[in-house]
Amino acid sequence: MICALVAAAAVQTGCGVSASGVSSNGGDPSAYPLVSGPASIEHHAVTAADGSVSYRPAPPTTYETQPTPTCQRAIVQTGTGSAELAIPPTPGLRAVALSPHETSVTWWFDEIPDIAARRSSWYQWWQMKTRVPRR
């Protein structure tokens, strides 16, 4: 049985990227490592009480992840083709259940290149969801 807490931290600025998504840190997002989307996510079958089968991403196998050391680059599809954009680093994450319905989550970043200059304008938030598995 899998039930998931989904958390997302939003970063107002970072990676030398303006609100338009265009690099503003001297125009060189190419300094960041290029990442690609998950080419093949392992899925496993879940059988519901009514016998129907659905496929869901396999659960993680670790209790902690480390943040990526820097911002990254990703290729995205636009209306006119593809574009290479700087995206924020992936946070580190650790979560501990305090009770059946209380979970403590801790997140951190190693470094965001322009965090020092723009720290006052940082605003981050978490978005959390629970997903109830079908049985």
Q: Which residues bind other proteins (CB under 8 A)?
A: 1-15, 17-21, 35, 37-38, 59-65, 68, 72, 85-91, 93-98, 100-109, 112, 115, 119, 122-130, 132-133
| Distance in Å, CB of 106 to other proteins, minimum | 4
87-113 burial: b if 16+ Cβ within 10 Å, else e: bbbbbebeeeeeeeeeeeeebebeebb
**In terms of CB distance, is 82 or 127 closer to other proteins?**
127
| Position 64, amino acid | E
| Distance in Å, CB of 54 to other proteins, minimum | 16
**In terms of CB distance, is 105 or 117 closer to other proteins?**
105
| Position 62, amino acid | T
Q: In whole angstroms, give the CA distance from residue 53 to residue 34.
A: 36
What is the CA 62 to chain-centroid distance, rounded?
16
Q: Collect all residues with Cβ–Cβ distance below 8 Å to 83 and sequence separation of at least 6.
A: 75, 76
**In terms of CB distance, is 30 or 59 closer to other proteins?**
59
| Distance in Å, CB of 51 to other proteins, minimum | 20
| Distance in Å, CB of 48 to other proteins, minimum | 14
